Chains A and B, each alone.
Chain A
Amino acid sequence: MTTSTELPFPGLRSGVELVPTNDQPQTGKEYTSGQEVRWCPGCGDYAVLKAVQGFLPELGLRRENIVFVSGIGCSSRFPYYLDTYGMHSIHGRAPSIATGIATAREDLSVWVVTGDGDALSIGGNHLIHALRRNVNMTILLFNNRIYGLTKGQYSPTSEAGKITKSTPMGSLDHPFNPVSLALGAEGSFVARTIDSDRKHLTSVLSAAAAHRGTSFVEIYQNCPIFNDGAFDAIKNNDTKADAIIPLVHGAPIRFGTEGSKGLIRDSESGGVKVVEVADVGEDAILVHDAYNADPTTAFAISRLTDSGYLNQSPIGIFRQVERPTYDDGARGQIASSQAAAPGDPSERLAKLIGGGDTWTVV
């Protein structure tokens, strides 16, 4: 079976390897459900939905073997708008439900759509444990750095000091960096992309689907109602060259106008830092290695994300490594147990319940 994305690890299994493929070309329209889309005008979610509806046909899987699961929040309405199997569940719990689906069935392509509140606040525990287990699923975290559906409270990714309805004197919470968190939770595929950059978004989705294990994709997504402009620096043509640190596997990490800036290792902090390429020479610039088994450098790069107003952020695939998945392991244990105990289930059941010390009354 094939997918549109080549695997970086020859001979290893794709995230959709066991999912039946479609022999007919598909269209985005087939993936569009009859439900009216009810996001606010200008919401970044529309762009992501369009990109996903455009991307799924390329994946070439049978539509009935795709499942989208979401929690609660604006982004979690997503499954209603896709004509696949789907569940709009309860707040924060989508990764646990998806874990059950992905473990029960090897022939499904399982996707989780979540937001910064859903995944990082109420559902934080399930997120980190899904990443730790490396269940074969793709988690799309729509990060708009605000609570939208409850109308404008600060979220776990909002900058400290943010004035919102629930924080009139400014938020006192220090925000999470979702990528750092995912890397710390043993994520095997961790990426970040932007709602408005369809090309980049699609390329990251392809790689995420191809990855066997939990793929974590943070999508910067603008909320025009409650947090408009949160990502302007990385979207504005005048500033984005300096704001986006592009991560491409095998390429030196350079950004700024004409790549004038770059990353080098920082011997003082043990991390990485931004320098003028002219000051250190091209050869000194760090080459991005997403396949590095050691997540230390990926984590260091993730720390270059501004925690306050977003003037700088690395974008791309931070880490993409192979690690055994929970669901393959669970099915493997069952398969080997079944192979070791062949025979009619009813007879085996009779043997099981009739085991132990027994006596017969005649």
Chain B
Amino acid sequence: MSKQVKQLDRVIIRFAGDSGDGMQLTGDRFTQESAVFGNDLVTLPNFPAEIRAPQGTLPGVSSFQVHFADHDILTAGDAPDVLVAMNPAALKANVGDLPKGAAIIVDTHDFTKRNLDKAGYDVNPLDLLGDANDPLGEFAVQPVDLTGMTVEAVKEFGLSRKDAARAKNMFALGLLSWMYGRPTDPTIAFLEKRFAKVADIRDANITAFKAGWNFGETTETFVVQYEIKPAPMSQGTYRNITGNLALSYGLVAAGVQSGLPVFLGSYPITPASDILHELSKHKAFGVTTLQAEDEIAGIGAAIGASFAGSLGVTTTSGPGIALKSEAIGLAVMTELPLLVIDVQRGGPSTGLPTKTEQADLLQAMYGRNGEAPVPIVAPQSPGDCFDAALEAARIAITYRTPVMLLSDGYLANGSEPWRIPEVADLPTIDPNFATERNQTVVAKDGTETEEYWPYLRDEDTLARPWAIPGTPGLEHRIGGIEKAKGTGNISYDPANHDYMVRIRQAKVDRIADSLPPLQVDDPSGEAKVLVIGWGSTYGPIGAGCRRVRKAGFNVAQVHLRHLNPFPKDLGEILKRYDKVLCPEMNLGQLSLLLRGKYLVDAIGYNQVNGMPIKAAALAEAIGGLVAEAEGVTVDLTPASIGTEASQ
């Protein structure tokens, strides 16, 4: 039979199943296929904190959403066009997110009385399809016995029924790959490598994957195949990359570009552990990874390594930062280069370990005793984590200071196509170790001696010299007690303390001299409303602004890489606009800082539900402000922006 081919400009698919069903892998493979095909894409993995939550229950549902398009997109999409549900719980947990008309592909196999009970279904919704009271009546539902067909397809390999059924995710992947014309070779190559040591499992997965494809192609259940053309992208070589991987590569690159060995002291914590895992593979670059006994020892070892001349790094999430606070203060006082990476998650306390949030900004800014300024940088997308890590290293090494890098759970696990940079284009960082004594001291009798003063400062950067052990003649002691200006000896002198508090702050403020001007995206140049953000909200804010502009209205966007110090032109930019909106996944932390520093009425748009902000809802808020500022009526209905509004 002939199949129809329909052109689409973008699709959002959500794979959902039990946390043991391999949905993350399925979504990741579909993503890789789409990336290689050349679509632009953004992904949103969403999984429970439990490794294996009770099977078949709502809390045990794991999902992976991928948004791919023939043009450049910014978010993983507000609502899926297609839901693949592997069991009743996956259907129930996700159906509420679907817009009218969405397609649902359901594995009927697990719709048993027991599983329906677990998911809280009194009646099997699949039994009501087409009825007057069909609860899924708004959707195009395709019930398919994915598991049954998988078991049948792989029976030649003699696996147990349980093992055979586990390949059902590959059957589903094959079917979706057919539907959207994805290339299959990368996944077959992946499966061959992944299961190289277990031939029967390898063959079963590949067979299930192919069977899924063939099922789509040959049966009459699916009559439409969709085509989403590659997106135009600027010249270069690309790969799909998650934030945690890009961040790890950025740290390796920081070592290469500075010539310093990287030393990571870390304690496992979700969602930061993957950075520890990744860096532990790169010993050939001179990267040392120490899995410490606790968060404090992780940063302690990193500080020790920095003192000894390495680039000390510690990686954690919010609860770990709380534990490391005192040690960060030590690094502030000893003025040693150190990278503190916080992959933020839902808080407070243990909070939501696998969900995203931006609520550690004030902790990063102020969460220490005393006046302890720490520079803060934040990446805005998964691929941008690479550049953010290099920038954090530049600041840490140049200014001899701990630097906080604020990633988050969404950036960490989400992915996007990343244009691989040329190594020759990466910045180089000069550690500029001290090798000579730096101060001539004249005794009362006129005799001169050369001394090494560890707290003499560079006039431009206000950074102190970094003399590492093994350098003769520069032996010195540093520590957490207040230092005398210049000599670095212990000092309890009141005037000296006041001076040192101010000079440490001035040093961090001085970093602003090295920052490029902010890029304000204001296409018409006539916007009265500015939307300002930081971190992973870049995508939703950009998509929200696009919707507003598509409807014919003006809005400007600026996104902050540096949160401490702020870029020098920020104050002037804020004053240029009548209204400033600050969307954040917290209760208003950046807006508090902006209000405090610039006396500007930054209006918060705050969402703290563990998920990325949705572009459509944010666009409504932006539209409301535009209406107020310009005295116009803002209509953002699909009719006014077109159904193809980019996200």
Stretch at the interface among B167-175, B281-289, B396-404: B281-289
Which of A33, A104, A337 makes the CB contact (< 8 A) with B261?
A104
Write the chain B residue with the least CB distance to A342. B284
Chain A residues whose C-beta falls within 8 Å of the C-beta of B421 in the assembled complex: 353
Contact in complex: B236, A361 (CB < 8 Å): yes
- What is the CB-to-nearest-CB distance from B536 to chain A, in angstroms, rounded to a whole number? 21
A79 to B283, CA, bound (A): 33
Write the chain B residue with the least CB distance to A84. B475
Scoring A residues 328 to 362 as 1 if CB is less than 8 Å from chain B, else 0, what string do you get? 00100110011011000111111011111111111
Contact in complex: A87, B334 (CB < 8 Å): yes
Stretch at the interface among A61-69, A140-148, A225-233, A268-276: A61-69
- What is the CB-to-nearest-CB distance from B491 to chain A, in angstroms, rounded to a whole number? 11
Which of B237, B284, B288, B472 makes the CB contact (< 8 A) with A348?
B284
Contact in complex: B327, A104 (CB < 8 Å): no
Chain B residues whose C-beta falls within 8 Å of the C-beta of A337 in the assembled complex: 283-284
Chain B residues whose C-beta falls within 8 Å of the C-beta of A347 in the assembled complex: 423
Chain A residues whose C-beta falls within 8 Å of the C-beta of B424 in the assembled complex: 346
Contact in complex: A105, B301 (CB < 8 Å): no
Chain B residues whose C-beta falls within 8 Å of the C-beta of A207 in the assembled complex: none
Chain B residues whose C-beta falls within 8 Å of the C-beta of A90 in the assembled complex: 326-327, 329-330, 480
Q: Which of A63, A330, A361 has the most CB of B within 10 A?
A: A361
Looking at chain B, what size class is its interface with the partner chain? 35 or more
- What is the CB-to-nearest-CB distance from A87 to chain B, in angstroms, rounded to a whole number? 6
Contact in complex: A361, B234 (CB < 8 Å): yes
Chain A residues whose C-beta falls within 8 Å of the C-beta of B305 in the assembled complex: 100-101, 103-104
Write the chain A residue with the least CB distance to B297. A96
Contact in complex: A360, B236 (CB < 8 Å): yes
A318 to B310, CA, bound (A): 36
* A85 contacts the other chain (CB 8 A): yes
Check A96/B36 contact, CB under 8 A, given A87-B334, A88-B477, A359-B238.
no
* A108 contacts the other chain (CB 8 A): yes
Contact in complex: B473, A64 (CB < 8 Å): yes
* A125 contacts the other chain (CB 8 A): yes
* A97 contacts the other chain (CB 8 A): yes
Query: How many residues belonging to A are interface residues under a CB distance threshold of 8 Å?
Result: 61
Contact in complex: A104, B308 (CB < 8 Å): yes
Check A352/B249 contact, CB under 8 A, given A64-B469, A333-B283, A357-B240.
yes
Write the chain A residue with the least CB distance to B299. A96
Write the chain A residue with the least CB distance to B249. A353
- What is the CB-to-nearest-CB distance from A303 to chain B, in angstroms, rounded to a whole number? 26
Write the chain A residue with the least CB distance to B312. A100
* A129 contacts the other chain (CB 8 A): yes
* B293 contacts the other chain (CB 8 A): yes
Contact in complex: B297, A129 (CB < 8 Å): yes
Chain A residues whose C-beta falls within 8 Å of the C-beta of B490 in the assembled complex: 35, 80
Q: Which of A88, A93, A347, A355 has the most CB of B within 10 A?
A: A93
Scoring B residues 480 to 502 as 1 if CB is less than 8 Å from chain A, else 0, what string do you get? 11000000011000000000000
Chain A residues whose C-beta falls within 8 Å of the C-beta of B265 in the assembled complex: 96, 100
Chain A residues whose C-beta falls within 8 Å of the C-beta of B475 in the assembled complex: 63-64, 83-85
Contact in complex: A103, B283 (CB < 8 Å): no
Chain A residues whose C-beta falls within 8 Å of the C-beta of B235 in the assembled complex: 361-362
- What is the CB-to-nearest-CB distance from A28 to chain B, in angstroms, rounded to a whole number? 15
Chain A residues whose C-beta falls within 8 Å of the C-beta of B283 in the assembled complex: 333-334, 337-338
Chain B residues whose C-beta falls within 8 Å of the C-beta of A350 in the assembled complex: 422-423
A67 to B304, CA, bound (A): 11
* A98 contacts the other chain (CB 8 A): yes
A341 to B283, CA, bound (A): 10
Which of B288, B297, B423 makes the CB contact (< 8 A) with A330?
B288
Chain B residues whose C-beta falls within 8 Å of the C-beta of A4 in the assembled complex: none
Chain A residues whose C-beta falls within 8 Å of the C-beta of B186 in the assembled complex: 357
Cβ < 8 Å to B, chain A residues 70-127: 72, 79-80, 83-90, 93, 96-105, 107-108, 125-126
* B296 contacts the other chain (CB 8 A): yes
A238 to B423, CA, bound (A): 75
- What is the CB-to-nearest-CB distance from A179 to chain B, in angstroms, rounded to a whole number? 21
Check A100/B300 contact, CB under 8 A, given A348-B284, A350-B423, A360-B237.
yes
Contact in complex: A87, B300 (CB < 8 Å): no
Which of A98, A100, A359 makes the CB contact (< 8 A) with B38?
A359
A177 to B472, CA, bound (A): 40
Contact in complex: A64, B302 (CB < 8 Å): no
Check A99/B470 contact, CB under 8 A, given A90-B327, A360-B238.
no
* B3 contacts the other chain (CB 8 A): no
Check A357/B304 contact, CB under 8 A, given A84-B475, A96-B297.
no
A176 to B380, CA, bound (A): 50
Contact in complex: A358, B237 (CB < 8 Å): yes
A64 to B472, CA, bound (A): 5
Contact in complex: B290, A103 (CB < 8 Å): yes
User: Can you name 21 A-B pairs with beta carbons within 8 Å?
Assistant: A62-B470, A63-B472, A63-B475, A64-B472, A67-B308, A79-B479, A83-B475, A86-B476, A88-B481, A93-B296, A96-B298, A99-B290, A103-B263, A104-B310, A125-B294, A125-B297, A346-B424, A350-B422, A352-B252, A352-B282, A354-B239
The 4 A-B pairs at the shortest CB distance, nearest first, are namely A100-B304, A88-B479, A96-B300, A100-B301
